[in-house]
């Protein structure tokens, strides 16, 4: 039997657990909005789109987060622009813009093979993260979370009914750009934790899970953030025992939580729906 | 500033008015929906916006709100550009059909509360006053019993009333209502009209598009007739005339004329004329006769 407290004895493990939890909370907050807008794939797309920024940042010796952030922001702006100028659907625009960015990233990386450790971007590397990178992740996540706590109601109003949001004096375009900027920031943080391939789980699964459990937005946010933070913390902890693969453990945990809600949720769960339907039939038969 | 806010809600010193001057709207597909439309409305007014389907009523609302950009002309709300009026919370708008995600995790009361956001601080925390106004708005549209329902779990008419409540809670001095009566039962329609009358006495200006021509004279002080432009605008008594209506509806309107033996036992030459757009009114004549059927259509003009 392994020593269950062992991970807490290592500075790098404790760091990994707390940083992961913070990132998980931030991504989960955003996941509520993404999922409701049907933009879930955006997390995936952004995760890939920031690669050229990271590559370029390493190339010219800037902090990777700055590069990723600029690339993510540019990609989000480009998407808004294409969206407003054509009648293409959102998903097509997302596909177009972000693959273009990813392609540019791949090109940069292949021309400059030594400039970037692709492995750590694609798979994440939270257990071996340097203090400097960890600091970047913490600052980025904390700022994102802080801004979200201030503007979430405005974002909710815009995401629910853009025309009405405008009519009460909000600026939907500005708020959406802010949202994409925050999303890029969170994506950058998540890259370090679970890697580009699994970013999407971080910005989808917690919101999707919470959505099965409530009809109220504030409750949705609370549940999602709790799920995101807990699974990330526990995932990082467990990855000590399975040796590496933090991203895999975290996302597996999130999926398990989702499946539990999927079956057992009191109102929107599979079992509850079946039970109610049967009750209605029994009632009708009387 | 503090006293004036308390005295007259959010809009101290602002008087409701709506000025549309020479507005032209062309859609990207080349449809010229409005051309050189102009009218003026003042405070304490209920104005009916009347015209056939496709006349440009919804377009006019969207142009006033700045949701479609006019290629010419200008809109002023309470003397301000539309955007500025929106920032100050002067306009409330209820679109013809809400394009929202009905599975969004918000309850009826949450939606109505969003109408108050413009009055709240930047964290959008509802004060006791805000909550009271939400309660009142829900009460006025008769949706208090449904306040804890998720927004998608309502019928069409109920959804409509929720968005009306949101506009009420917003307390816009200028209210734009695009067909609030379509798909709504008579009791609700009467409740909405009663509500508008209250708001009128409080100085609000309401522009209401409707197909229910019969009730326009009942509650509208002014009428704006549209058919790709504003054909006529002014007091109901002088504008809502048969001649103007025929100009606005030319051809599409159902037109009943009841006279002679169908109407009188003597040789009275007066007649009853019934004009109607979407809704078909039932016209009864003669209160005593028990076997009365709705009068048959004497003629239905569709030139
Ligand atoms: N988004 C749009 N794109 C192109 N044409 C439109 C659009 N919306 C409305 N129209 C056209 O503009 C005209 C006015 O429409 P609308 O303002 O909706 O009329 P109403 O509300 O009076 O029924 C119609 O001919 C309609 O087909
Ligand atoms: Mg219309």
Nearest residue to B194 (alpha-carbon basis) of B168, B157, B160, B159: B168
Q: How confident is the model at residue A204 (pLDDT cuts 50, 70, 90)?
A: very high
For B119, residues 6+ apart whose C-beta sits below 8 A from its C-beta are B10, B89, B130, B171
Whether B58 lines ligand 1, by a CB cut-off of 6 Å, is yes
Q: What is the pLDDT of residues B93-124, one digit of tens each?
A: 999 888 888 999 999 999 999 999 999 988 99
Q: Residue B72 in 3-state DSSP?
A: strand
Kindly report the protein residue whose alpha carbon is nearest to atom 12 of ligand 1: B33
pLDDT of residue B174: 96
Distance from C-alpha of B108 to C-alpha of B164, rounded to nearest angstrom: 12
Query: Which of A270-279, B9-18, B40-49 is predicted least confidently?
Result: B9-18
- A45 pLDDT exceeds 70? yes
The residue assigned the tokens 């002679």 is: B260
- B59 Cα–ligand 1 center, Å: 6
Non-local (6+) Cβ contacts of B197 within 8 A are B46, B219
CA-CA-CA-CA torsion sign (B263, B264, B267, B271): negative
A vs B: CB pairs below 8 A: 69
Interface test with B, best of A32, A164, A265 (most B CBs within 10 A): A164
What b-and-e string marks burial along B233-254, b requiring 16 or more CB atoms within 10 Å of the CB? bbebeebbeeebbeebbeeebb
Task: Calculate ∠ Cα A209-A214-A219, nearest 5°.
Answer: 95
pLDDT per position as a tens digit, B67-79: 999 999 999 999 9
Ligand 1 atom nearest B53 alpha carbon: 23
- Between B296 and A45, name the one with better pLDDT: A45
Inform me whether the C-beta atom of residue B69 falls under 8 Å from chain A C-beta atoms. no
Q: Is the CB of B27 under 6 A from ligand 1?
A: yes
pLDDT over 60 at B293, yes or no: no
Smallest Cβ–Cβ distance between B106 and the set A154, A168, A217 belongs to: A217
Question: Residue A65 pLDDT more than 80?
Answer: no
Q: What is the pTM of this model?
A: 0.83
Q: Which ipTM value was assigned to this complex? A: 0.84
- The pLDDT assigned to B8 comes to 43
Q: Which of A87, A168, A210 is the best mutation test for B, with the most CBs of B within 10 A?
A: A168
pLDDT higher at A249 or A269:
A249
Instruction: Determine which of A4-13, A43-52, B236-245 has the lowest per-residue pLDDT on average.
Output: A43-52
Q: Which residues on chain B are in Cβ contact (under 8 Å) with A276? A: none
Predicted local confidence at residue A76, as pLDDT: 78
Measured from the CB, is residue B46 less than 6 Å from ligand 1? Answer: no
Per residue in B140-166, pLDDT (tens digit) is 888 999 999 999 999 888 898 899 999
CB contacts of A160 in chain B (<8 Å) are 100-101, 104, 106, 111, 114
Is there a contact between A160 and B88 if contact means CB atoms under 8 Å apart?
A: no
Report CB contact under 8 Å: A163, B93.
yes
Mean pLDDT of B44-64: 95
For residue B230, report the distance from its CA to the centre of ligand 1, in Å.
Answer: 15
Query: CA-CA distances (angstroms) from residue A176 to A41, A79, A149, B19, B252?
Result: 16, 11, 15, 31, 44
Contact residues, chain B, for A159 at CB < 8 Å = 104
Q: Which residue of A has its CA nearest to B88?
A: A169
**CA-to-CA distance for B180 and A18, rounded, in angstroms?**
53
Compute the distance between CA of residue A256 and CA of residue A251 in angstroms, rounded to an integer.
9
B191 confidence band (pLDDT: 50, 70, 90):
confident
- Residues A89/A79, Cβ–Cβ less than 8 Å: no
For the record, the structure tokens of B297 come out as: 């259509």
Q: How many Å separate Cα A85 from the centre of its chain? A: 28
- Expressed in angstroms and rounded, the spacing between residue B81 Cα and the centre of ligand 1 is 24
Give the pLDDT confidence score for residue A57 in this predicted structure: 82
What pLDDT is stored for residue B99 in this prediction?
82
**Cβ density class A197-228: b for 16+ within 10 Å, e for less:** bbbbbbbbbbbbbbbbbbbebeebbbbbbbbb
Q: Are A212 and A200 in contact (CB under 8 A)?
A: no
CA A90, chain centre distance (Å): 19
Structure-model confidence comparison of residues B290 and B172, the more confident one: B172
Place of tokens 């009730």: B215
- The candidate with the shortest Cα–Cα distance to B93, out of A85, A169, A134, is A169
**Average pLDDT for residues A31-57, to the nearest whole number?**
83
Q: Which atom of ligand 1 is nearest to the CA of B51?
A: 22
Task: Please tell me the distance from the alpha carbon of residue A6 to that of residue A21, in angstroms, as a whole number.
Answer: 19
d(CA A51, CA A270): 39
Q: How far is the CA of B51 from the centre of ligand 2 (A)?
A: 9
Ligand 2 mean position, distance from CA A127 (Å): 59
Please list the alpha-helical segments (H only) found in B177-276. 186-201, 216-219, 236-239, 242-249
pLDDT tens readout for residues B236-252: 999 988 888 888 887 66
With a 6 A CB cut-off, is B53 part of the ligand 1 pocket? yes
- Structure confidence at residue B298 (pLDDT): 42
Q: Is the CB of B45 under 6 A from ligand 1?
A: no
By most ligand atoms within 8 Å of CB, the mutation choice from B26, B32, B56 for ligand 1 is B56
pLDDT for position A113: 65
| Residue in B with minimal Cα distance to A149 | B123
Q: What is the mean pLDDT of residues A91-110?
A: 83
Say whether residue B166 is in contact with chain A using an 8 A CB cutoff: yes
């Amino acid at each position: 039997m392994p020593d269950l407290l062992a991970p807490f004895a290592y500075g790098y493990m404790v760091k990994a657990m707390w940083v992961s939890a913070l990132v998980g909370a931030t991504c989960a907050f955003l996941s509520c909005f993404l999922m409701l807008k049907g933009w879930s794939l955006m997390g995936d797309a952004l995760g890939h789109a920031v690669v050229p920024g990271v590559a370029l940042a390493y190339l010219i010796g800037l902090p990777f987060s700055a590069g990723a952030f600029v690339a993510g922001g540019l990609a989000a702006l480009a998407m808004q622009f294409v969206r407003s100028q054509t009648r293409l659907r959102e998903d097509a625009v997302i596909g177009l813009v972000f693959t273009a960015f990813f392609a540019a990233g791949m090109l940069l990386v292949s021309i400059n093979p030594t400039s970037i450790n692709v492995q750590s971007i694609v798979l994440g590397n939270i257990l071996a993260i340097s203090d400097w990178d960890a600091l970047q992740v913490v600052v980025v996540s904390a700022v994102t979370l802080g801004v979200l706590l201030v503007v979430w109601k405005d974002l909710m109003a815009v995401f629910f009914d853009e025309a009405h949001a405008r009519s009460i004096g909000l600026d939907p375009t500005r708020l959406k750009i802010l949202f994409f900027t925050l999303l890029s920031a969170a994506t950058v943080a998540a890259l370090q934790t679970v890697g580009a391939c699994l970013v999407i789980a971080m910005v989808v699964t917690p919101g999707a899970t919470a959505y099965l459990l409530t009809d109220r937005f504030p409750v949705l946010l609370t549940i999602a953030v709790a799920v995101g933070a807990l699974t990330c913390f526990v995932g990082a902890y467990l990855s000590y025992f399975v040796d590496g693969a933090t991203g895999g453990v975290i996302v597996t945990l999130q999926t398990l939580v989702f499946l539990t809600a999927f079956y057992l949720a009191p109102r929107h769960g599979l079992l509850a729906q079946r039970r109610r339907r049967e009750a209605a039939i029994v009632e009708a038969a009387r | 500033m503090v006293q004036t806010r308390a005295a007259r809600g959010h809009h101290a010193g602002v008087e409701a008015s709506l000025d549309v001057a020479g507005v032209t709207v062309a859609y990207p597909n080349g449809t010229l929906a409005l051309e050189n439309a102009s009218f003026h409305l003042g405070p304490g007014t209920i104005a009916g916006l009347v015209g056939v389907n496709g006349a440009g009523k919804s377009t006019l609302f969207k142009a006033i709100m700045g949701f479609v950009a006019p290629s010419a002309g200008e809109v002023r709300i309470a003397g301000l550009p539309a955007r500025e009026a929106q920032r100050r919370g002067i306009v409330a708008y209820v679109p013809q059909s809400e394009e929202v995600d009905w599975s969004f995790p918000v309850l009826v009361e949450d939606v109505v509360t969003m109408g108050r956001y413009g009055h709240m601080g930047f964290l959008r925390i509802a004060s006791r006053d805000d909550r009271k106004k939400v309660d009142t708005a829900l009460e006025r549209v008769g949706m208090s019993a449904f306040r804890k329902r998720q927004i998608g779990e309502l019928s069409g008419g109920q959804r409509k009333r929720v968005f009306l409540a949101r506009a009420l809670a917003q307390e816009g001095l200028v209210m734009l209502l695009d067909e609030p009566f379509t798909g709504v039962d008579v009791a609700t329609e009467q409740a909405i009209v009663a509500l508008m009358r209250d708001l009128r006495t409080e100085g609000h200006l309401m522009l209401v598009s409707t197909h229910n021509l019969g009730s326009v004279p009942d509650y509208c002080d002014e009428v704006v007739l549209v058919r790709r432009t504003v054909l006529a605008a002014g007091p109901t008594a002088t504008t809502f005339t048969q001649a103007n209506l025929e100009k606005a509806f030319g051809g599409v309107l159902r037109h009943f004329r009841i006279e002679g033996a169908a109407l009188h036992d003597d040789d009275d030459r007066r007649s009853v004329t019934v004009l109607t757009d979407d809704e078909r009114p039932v016209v009864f004549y003669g209160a005593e006769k028990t076997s009365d059927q709705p009068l048959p259509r004497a003629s239905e003009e569709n030139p």
